[in-house]
Structure 1
């Protein structure tokens, strides 16, 4: 005796059979929706101005709204690193100083 299992994907909007699953993201949330070709075309039409103006991001690379890292001049970098070491903060001898350490250094200097 043979068994067959059929998976029928139905449109999430109107229940029509023959839909396909589409994935999209907004903010930090990824959505999946099952749509027929007609509803997919409607969605693409609504999103077209935004997708045309936007930039594609490679999978696995999520951009945040954070500002780019500030580049410190050599003297400021040395002063910040020395201050951090004196405060018992772990800072590498080479490389970028974490923004939180730079902020703490500047706050201490402002006092």
Structure 2
């Protein structure tokens, strides 16, 4: 048994439409249009496309927040954490919760 999908135009309800995607501002839209309706959309946009430019994909750079510490400071933080009952691995990244607790206990502000 074969299943046939028919995409209808969102504007006219006519069959044989295809999904078109376009963006305006920060919002992307999808609409199902017949070939004739797609041509009308392209004609309507032609003056803007002619003078416009393609936008580059912009992905916000992830801000990596890693406190600058020396190996000696990290050893001190680890020792302080274990002494104060925190459980964490002896190697690798020191959990943020422990860094924050250490900084608060010692009046350290690393936000600068």
Are 1:61 and 2:58 counterparts? yes
- Runs of 4+ aligned structure 1 residues displaced above 4 Å come to none
Instruction: Give the corresponding residue for 2:12.
Output: 14
TM-score normalised over the length of structure 2:
0.51
How many angstroms does 1:12 deviate by?
0.8
Instruction: Give the corresponding residue for 2:44.
Output: 46
Q: Choose the corresponding residue for 2:111, options 57, 68, 90.
A: 90
TM-score normalised over the length of structure 1:
0.51
Are 1:5 and 2:15 counterparts? no
How many angstroms does 1:90 deviate by?
2.1
**CA RMSD of the aligned region, Å?**
2.3
Instruction: Give the corresponding residue for 1:30.
Output: 28
- Paired positions, count: 65
List gaps (5 residues or longer) in structure 1: 63-87, 92-111
List gaps (5 residues or longer) in structure 2: 60-108
In 2: Cα distance, 1:51 partner to 1:89 partner: 48
In 2: Cα distance, 1:89 partner to 1:46 partner: 54
Bigger Cα Rg: 2
